[in-house]
């Protein structure tokens, strides 16, 4: 049994906007580039990695086991097994949690974990052809991105509709949501201008017949976001509601990967760990109230680590919608100045299978740049669940 697992490295691609710079690449392509960079940076042999866990939500049309495709394409030995994880928006962090458990159980010592998604390339589905039920007349294409990634399977509603429900129940105003969104964009824009993300981002070259373009800057951030501009946007899910495109996360493409190792592996390879995983936890509740499930998940993770909210220097709480972020800050009674200090998914974008690993990556780098000690990453996810992890710099 291993007492603890350690984060050796964490990297990500840029977060590409929907139909943006990363659109020529599949999720597997993006994930492969990030994994290959980690292997290259640490001069890892193909069989150093003992297991691979990678999250992806919308897998339609991707071929068998996308995680295995990434592993082999990136140069991991074909003797190494790989598992594709799907826990909706929590997939990327759940993959890292699975790596942590595998290491602490003593089964393995070095694991590559993370998440990936290309929302741009999610296919449309056509049902009824196999059984001949569409012999005559029109039929309907189903958007796999919406059906498998953005629609509640229990309440048959879009995530934005559940955001409206939580906003009404928690009495969170349009102004509060817009204020959170503007702050997210301002913080992300400052982080980009200051070069804060350079160390965590793997630049990706897109080669076409005409030219080669290097994609190395997050594409969704709007530096000119303002309360005035957001206030002019119409609501999307209810005529008299408060959720708009401006206070919701953007559809996006991207990948993030984390190299996790046991204390034994750290010693054998002479690695200098960047953080240790103190604890991880999950929570569940009614599907319609998913946006507040992050609160008990974070509390449970803190309890496992025997810590209080005041012991945490930085929080990365995924911004699926601003209403969720406001609700979590209220529910946890924490200072918003410690939450998503370099912007969140509203500004950066939310490639759903990747976001869990992305916020963990950004959290680690943010702690390092500020010379802080402890951080929490947390996400809610469709169906009423949530995941959370506590890390501490070494």
Beta-carbon contacts of residue 101 (< 8 Å; ≥ 6 apart)? none
Report the C-alpha gap between 257 and 357 in whole angstroms.
6
Q: What is the DSSP letter of 149?
A: I
Question: How far is C-alpha 249 from the chain's CA centre?
Answer: 12
Task: Give tens-digit pLDDT for 23-51.
Answer: 999 999 999 999 999 999 999 999 999 99
Q: Is residue 306 part of a domain?
A: yes
Q: Is residue 112 part of a domain?
A: no
Q: Is residue 314 part of a domain?
A: yes
Among residues 152, 185, 350, 365, the one annotated as catalytic is: 350
* Nearest Cα residue to 383 out of 120, 53, 64, 57: 57
pLDDT for 332: 99
Report residue 61 as tokens. Answer: 């049309």
Q: Which domain holds residue 320?
A: 278-393
* Nearest Cα residue to 328 out of 298, 358, 283, 287: 298
Q: Is residue 307 part of a domain?
A: yes
Q: Is 147 a catalytic residue?
A: no
- The answer to whether the CB of 184 falls within 8 A of the CB of 5 is no
Q: Is residue 321 part of a domain?
A: yes
Report the C-alpha gap between 365 and 372 in whole angstroms.
10
Among residues 89, 122, 152, 220, the one annotated as catalytic is: 89
Report residue 317 as tokens. Answer: 């709480």
Q: Is 328 a catalytic residue?
A: no
Q: Is residue 108 part of a domain?
A: no
Q: Is residue 351 part of a domain?
A: yes
Q: Is 185 a catalytic residue?
A: no
**Quick one: angle between helices 159-170 and 322-332, nearest 10?**
40
Q: What is the pTM of this model?
A: 0.97
Over the range 274-293, which residues count as b (16 or more CB within 10 Å of their CB) and which as e? bbbbbbbbbbebebbbbbbb
Q: Is residue 123 part of a domain?
A: no
pLDDT for 336: 98
pLDDT for 136: 81
Residue ranges of the chain whose pLDDT lies below 70: 1
Among residues 122, 220, 328, 380, the one annotated as catalytic is: 380
Report residue 294 as tokens. Answer: 């992050």
- CATH code at position 388: 3.40.47.10
pLDDT for 145: 98
Task: Give tens-digit pLDDT for 254-291.
Answer: 999 999 999 999 999 999 999 999 999 999 999 999 99
Q: Classify 178 as helix, strand or coil.
A: helix
The structural domain count of the chain equals 1
Report the C-alpha gap between 52 and 308 in whole angstroms.
32
């Amino acid at each position: 049994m291993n007492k603890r697992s350690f984060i050796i490295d964490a990297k990500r691609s840029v977060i590409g906007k929907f139909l943006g710079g990363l659109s020529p690449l599949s999720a597997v392509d993006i994930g492969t580039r990030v994994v290959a960079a980690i292997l290259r940076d640490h001069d890892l042999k193909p069989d150093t990695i003992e297991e691979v866990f990678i999250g992806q939500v919308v897998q339609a049309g991707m071929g068998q086991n996308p995680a295995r495709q990434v592993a082999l394409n990136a140069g991991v030995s074909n003797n190494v097994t790989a598992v594709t994880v799907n826990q909706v928006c929590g997939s990327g962090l759940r993959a890292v949690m699975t790596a942590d458990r595998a290491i602490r159980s003593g089964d393995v010592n070095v694991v590559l974990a993370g998440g990936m998604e290309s929302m741009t390339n999610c296919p449309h589905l056509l049902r009824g052809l196999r059984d001949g039920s569409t012999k005559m007349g029109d039929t309907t294409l189903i958007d796999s991105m919406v059906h498998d990634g953005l629609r509640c399977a229990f309440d048959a509603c879009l995530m934005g509709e559940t955001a409206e429900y939580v906003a009404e129940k928690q009495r969170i105003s349009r102004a509060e949501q817009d204020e959170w969104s503007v702050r997210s964009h301002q913080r992300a824009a400052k982080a980009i201008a200051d070069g804060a993300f350079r160390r965590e981002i793997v630049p990706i070259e897109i080669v076409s017949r005409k030219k080669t373009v290097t994609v190395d800057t997050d594409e969704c951030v709007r530096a000119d976001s303002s309360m005035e501009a957001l206030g002019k946007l119409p609501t999307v899910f209810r005529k008299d509601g408060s959720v708009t495109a401006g206070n919701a996360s953007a559809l996006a493409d991207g990948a993030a990967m984390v190299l996790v190792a046991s204390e034994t592996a750290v010693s054998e390879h002479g690695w200098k760990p960047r953080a240790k995983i103190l604890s991880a936890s999950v929570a569940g509740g009614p599907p319609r109230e998913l946006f507040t499930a992050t609160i008990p998940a974070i509390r449970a993770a803190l309890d496992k680590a025997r810590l209080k909210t005041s012991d945490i220097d930085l929080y990365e709480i995924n911004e699926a919608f601003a209403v969720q972020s406001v609700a979590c800050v209220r529910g946890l009674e924490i200072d918003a100045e410690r939450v998503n200090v370099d912007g969140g998914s509203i500004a950066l974008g939310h490639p759903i299978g990747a976001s869990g690993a992305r916020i963990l990556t950004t959290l680690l780098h943010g702690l390092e740049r500020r010379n802080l000690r402890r951080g929490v990453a947390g996400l809610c996810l469709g169906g009423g669940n949530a995941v959370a992890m506590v890390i501490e710099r070494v």
